[in-house]
């Protein structure tokens, strides 16, 4: 018998995806063909608008995800069909059911009766020859014989069936397992659980003290369909750490009231009462644990999707935070006993010098530290000072403020997040970048770089260590890594990358490149000097035409031989720009960055068989402002003087802060006291909002009013809406 099955119908998949993403089938088909040809999402979104009729990156991601899921489902169908076929029980109807199934949960339910099982009570009963008796019970047809006559032939002490009751029990076990394998029954129960069931959480015996942080969930119950992702993940974490038992509760009386007449349907059957008891046993022993497991898995997947979406959104905001710019910068990694580590970097991020100062307790060498800082500012013409927001940050900030005030300096000082800096400074990448420097100095360098260009520095970290997630260690790690990696790729390509300054870490996220090619590009640059054109990329070993096509438009060559190389115009479109310049009777260089000239161009005049109106319009917009950075203008937060620790915070205070994390239940704000404050969703805006991301984003500067302070538990509750004027 053939073991190849028709499990993947591309036309059908395209139609389903088109409906799901709100596009037409032609758009989806074009996107699928481009993806299958090895094109990246950023490249398709930016440079293949004609083919997809303008699908943006969000729609393309949805198509990519749906296509991957459809192919994974098809592969699973293929495996299941082969397995059942090898058992010799694959019927035409069963094959049709599997091939037409569009849901992975239903697919697994169809497969359940054929799945190899551990040795169950039903398995043992079959071994004892009780299958024929089970078949009689299953049919529920009146036998018109006394019970003992029906059961007598199945009594066999040699097979451990000593009496009629043992025979009946074994047959009922087989019936119970057959019911438990019924697809429709499992689907109905799953619907009951998700629609009307409750998630429950109870504390394990003897774990109240050690598990105090999960006290909220010691005796907790809430609707399965309404449980928020953060609460579900918190319960799951409590269970994983051994403090909680998490389960699913149904209305047993209602459910059994529906199951009993459905399964034990013939009240005239001689064994009707026995089957009623079997229904109860099947529900309690088999169906309920299975549906609880399925429901918890469904809720976990839903919570993972939501939490990963929150994390990805926060990460995007952080990566696209405004850069302070390519200026000489001092990075300070604050500390008390070990002092403040200082690193100076130039406008390109190159390391210049480092030292340590001790302006804070216990040494309190404010005068000596001041002299060192003033000397560094003067010697290197420092324009920016970045202070890490960890231990001793406010004390260090006060010290630096005093130094700058005494100098009458216009140097810009800003607090930056240290999240992940210690991980980076001890990493292989940091060692390779600064092999001769101490780990603490690498941390100070990273802090300086984060102020100059957050994106270029943060790409050196595993996105999970940046600290803007919600239960990031509890969600599906493969899914999380994929989502965050794609978000970083999107951010890097939307900003563009300087080919001659970018680190391998930054280059690796450029469309079509990846880590290995990034290393080769840097090695080639180190050996041969700066790239004077994009075209020189083709000289890099193993960087072929396809990688060049994907990457070129996102790479910038400053002051190169070709002026368009410092723009988002793709090399494949350079001929269009040449025609534009010719139409205006100007040199091509005169057109780049000249909004007055580009305003005279009409996109429709340059449309041809290769380049449609969307691409030509993009080219004209890019020529007007070539290489424009989409990130906002740099701003800094000014923390309140005299409020340095949580003990300084009082209810009623108005404080300025910066949003560090956005979750489904609110936003966290750094108000300069080493402990982020929480703005609950109800305190974010005067109007009702469904999601905090509607009104705030990571990096936003906000003013808040303090509502409550719990020093012992290190919790600060604040309100944004109560701090709003009027």
Specify the CATH number for the domain of residue 424.
3.30.420.140
Predicted confidence (pLDDT) at residue 1 exceeds the cutoff of 50: no
Q: Can you give the CATH number for the domain in which 53 is found?
A: 1.10.10.650
Structure tokens, 205: 């015996």
Are 136 and 100 contained in the same domain?
no
Going by pLDDT thresholds of 50, 70 and 90, the confidence category of residue 393 is very high
Are 289 and 180 contained in the same domain?
yes
Going by pLDDT thresholds of 50, 70 and 90, the confidence category of residue 636 is confident
Predicted confidence (pLDDT) at residue 352 exceeds the cutoff of 50: yes
In a domain? residue 105: yes
229-233 average pLDDT score: 93
**Could you tell me where the beta strands, DSSP code E, fall in 274-367?**
329-333, 340-345, 351-357
What are the pLDDT digits (tens) for 552-561? 999 999 999 9
In a domain? residue 472: no
In a domain? residue 584: no
The confidence score (pLDDT) of residue 132 equals 97
Give the span between the Cα atoms of 108 and 175, in whole angstroms.
Answer: 20
In a domain? residue 535: no
Is 572 or 118 the better-scoring residue by pLDDT? 572
* Entry pTM: 0.87
Is 633 or 447 the better-scoring residue by pLDDT? 447
How many CA atoms lie less than 13 Å away from 144 in the CB half-sphere?
0
What are the pLDDT digits (tens) for 102-154? 889 999 999 999 988 889 999 999 999 999 999 999 999 999 999 999 999 99
Structure tokens, 48: 């293949």
The confidence score (pLDDT) of residue 629 equals 87
In a domain? residue 563: no
354-360 average pLDDT score: 97
Beta bridge partners of 718: 679, 706
286-294 average pLDDT score: 96
What are the pLDDT digits (tens) for 185-226? 999 999 999 999 999 999 999 999 999 999 999 999 999 999
Are 158 and 273 contained in the same domain?
yes
The confidence score (pLDDT) of residue 6 equals 67
615 — phi, psi (to 5°)? Answer: -65, -45
390-404 average pLDDT score: 93
Predicted confidence (pLDDT) at residue 697 exceeds the cutoff of 60: yes
**Closest by CA position to 198, among listed 237, 172, 225:** 225
Q: Give the Cα-Cα-Cα angle 192, 194, 197 (nearest 5 degrees).
A: 70
**Structural domain count of the chain:** 4
Are 423 and 337 contained in the same domain?
yes
Of 114, 138, 169, the residue that ends a domain is 114
Predicted confidence (pLDDT) at residue 9 exceeds the cutoff of 90: no
What are the pLDDT digits (tens) for 469-506? 777 888 999 999 999 999 999 999 999 999 999 999 99
588-603 average pLDDT score: 95
Are 283 and 185 contained in the same domain?
yes
Going by pLDDT thresholds of 50, 70 and 90, the confidence category of residue 15 is very high
Are 216 and 133 contained in the same domain?
yes
Predicted confidence (pLDDT) at residue 522 exceeds the cutoff of 90: yes
Percent of the chain with pLDDT over 90: 88
What are the pLDDT digits (tens) for 653-687? 999 999 999 998 999 999 989 899 999 999 999 99
Of 114, 133, 164, the residue that ends a domain is 114
Are 142 and 227 contained in the same domain?
yes
Of 281, 310, 339, the residue that ends a domain is 310
Are 303 and 167 contained in the same domain?
yes
Are 186 and 248 contained in the same domain?
yes
In a domain? residue 198: yes
The confidence score (pLDDT) of residue 694 equals 92
- In three-state secondary structure terms, 124 is helix
Q: How many CB atoms neighbour CB 373 within 10 A?
A: 25
Structure tokens, 69: 């899921």
In a domain? residue 210: yes
The confidence score (pLDDT) of residue 414 equals 93
Are 168 and 302 contained in the same domain?
yes
Four-point Cα dihedral 154, 285, 187, 125, nearest 10: -20
Average predicted confidence (pLDDT) for the chain? 94
Predicted confidence (pLDDT) at residue 2 exceeds the cutoff of 50: no
Q: Can you give the CATH number for the domain in which 241 is found?
A: 1.10.3500.10
The confidence score (pLDDT) of residue 3 equals 56
In a domain? residue 221: yes
Q: Give the Cα-Cα-Cα angle 721, 723, 726 (nearest 5 degrees).
A: 85
The confidence score (pLDDT) of residue 726 equals 63
Are 169 and 298 contained in the same domain?
yes
Give the span between the Cα atoms of 428 and 438, in whole angstroms.
Answer: 13
Expressed as residue numbers, the domain containing 184 is 121-310
Element (H, E) at 522: helix 514-528
Are 292 and 159 contained in the same domain?
yes
Structure tokens, 208: 């109240």
The confidence score (pLDDT) of residue 400 equals 96
The confidence score (pLDDT) of residue 291 equals 96
| CB distance 653 to 431 below 8 Å | no
């Amino acid at each position: 018998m053939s073991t190849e099955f028709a499990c993947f119908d591309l036309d059908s998949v395209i139609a389903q995806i088109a409906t799901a993403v709100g596009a037409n089938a032609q758009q989806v088909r074009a996107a699928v063909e481009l993806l299958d040809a090895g094109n990246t999402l950023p490249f398709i979104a930016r440079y293949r608008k004609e083919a997809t009729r303008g699908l943006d990156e969000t729609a393309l991601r949805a198509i990519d995800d749906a296509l991957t899921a459809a192919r994974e489902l098809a592969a699973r169908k293929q495996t299941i069909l082969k397995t059942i076929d090898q058992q010799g029980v694959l019927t035409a109807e069963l094959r049709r059911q599997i091939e037409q199934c569009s849901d992975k949960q239903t697919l697994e339910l169809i497969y359940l009766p054929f799945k190899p099982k551990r040795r169950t009570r039903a398995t043992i009963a079959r071994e004892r020859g009780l299958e024929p008796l089970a078949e009689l019970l299953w049919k529920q047809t009146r036998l018109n014989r006394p019970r003992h006559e029906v059961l007598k032939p199945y009594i066999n002490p040699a097979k451990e069936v000593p009496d009629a009751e043992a025979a009946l029990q074994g047959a009922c076990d087989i019936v119970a397992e057959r019911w438990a394998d019924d697809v429709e029954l499992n689907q109905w129960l799953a619907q009951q659980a998700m629609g009307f069931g409750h998630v429950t959480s109870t504390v394990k015996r003897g774990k109240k003290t050690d598990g105090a942080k999960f006290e909220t969930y010691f005796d907790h119950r809430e609707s399965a369909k309404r449980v928020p992702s953060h609460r579900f993940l918190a319960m799951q974490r409590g269970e994983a750490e051994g403090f909680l038992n998490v389960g699913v509760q149904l209305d047993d009386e209602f459910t059994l009231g529906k199951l009993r007449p459905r399964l034990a349907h013939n009240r005239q059957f001689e064994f009707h009462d026995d089957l009623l008891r079997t229904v109860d046993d099947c529900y309690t022993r088999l169906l309920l644990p299975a549906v609880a497991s399925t429901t918890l898995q469904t809720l976990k997947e839903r919570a993972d999707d939501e939490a990963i979406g929150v994390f990805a959104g926060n990460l995007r905001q952080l990566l696209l935070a405004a850069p302070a710019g390519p200026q000489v910068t001092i990075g300070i990694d604050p500390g008390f006993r070990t002092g403040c580590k200082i690193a100076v970097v130039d406008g390109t991020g190159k390391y210049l010098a480092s030292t340590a100062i001790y302006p804070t307790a216990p040494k309190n060498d404010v005068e000596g530290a001041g002299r060192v800082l003033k000397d560094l500012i003067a010697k290197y013409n420092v324009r920016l000072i970045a202070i890490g927001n960890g231990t001793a940050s406010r004390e260090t900030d006060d010290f630096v403020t005093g130094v700058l005030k005494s100098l009458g300096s216009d140097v810009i000082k800003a607090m930056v997040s240290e999240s992940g800096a210690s991980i980076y400074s001890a990493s292989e990448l940091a060692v390779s970048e600064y092999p001769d420097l101490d780990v603490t100095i690498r941390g100070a360098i990273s802090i300086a770089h984060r102020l100059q260009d957050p994106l270029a520095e943060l790409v050196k970290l595993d996105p999970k260590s940046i600290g803007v997630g919600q239960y990031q260690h509890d969600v599906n790690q493969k899914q999380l890594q994929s989502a965050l990696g794609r978000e970083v790729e999107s951010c890097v390509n939307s900003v563009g990358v300087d080919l001659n300054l970018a680190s391998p870490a930054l280059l690796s996220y450029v469309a079509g490149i990846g880590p290995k090619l990034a290393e080769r590009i840097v090695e080639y640059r180190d050996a041969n000097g700066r790239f004077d054109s994009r075209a020189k990329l083709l000289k890099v070993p193993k960087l072929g035409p396809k990688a060049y096509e994907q990457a070129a438009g996102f790479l910038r060559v400053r002051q190169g031989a070709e002026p368009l190389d410092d723009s988002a115009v793709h090399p494949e479109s350079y001929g269009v720009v040449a025609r534009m310049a010719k139409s205006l009777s100007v040199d091509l260089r005169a057109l780049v960055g000249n909004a007055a000239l580009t305003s005279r161009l009409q996109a429709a005049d340059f449309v041809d068989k290769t380049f449609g109106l969307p691409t030509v319009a993009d080219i004209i917009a890019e020529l007007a402002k070539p290489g424009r950075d989409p990130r906002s203008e740099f701003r800094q937060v000014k923390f309140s003087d005299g409020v340095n620790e949580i003990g300084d915070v009082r209810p009623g205070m108005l404080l300025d802060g910066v949003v560090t994390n956005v979750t489904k239940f609110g936003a966290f704000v750094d108000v300069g006291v080493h402990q982020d404050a929480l703005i609950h969703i109800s305190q974010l805006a005067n109007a009702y909002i469904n999601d905090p991301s509607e009104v705030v984003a990571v990096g936003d500067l906000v003013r808040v009013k303090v509502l409550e302070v719990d020093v012992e538990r290190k919790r600060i509750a604040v309100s944004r809406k109560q701090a709003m004027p009027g």
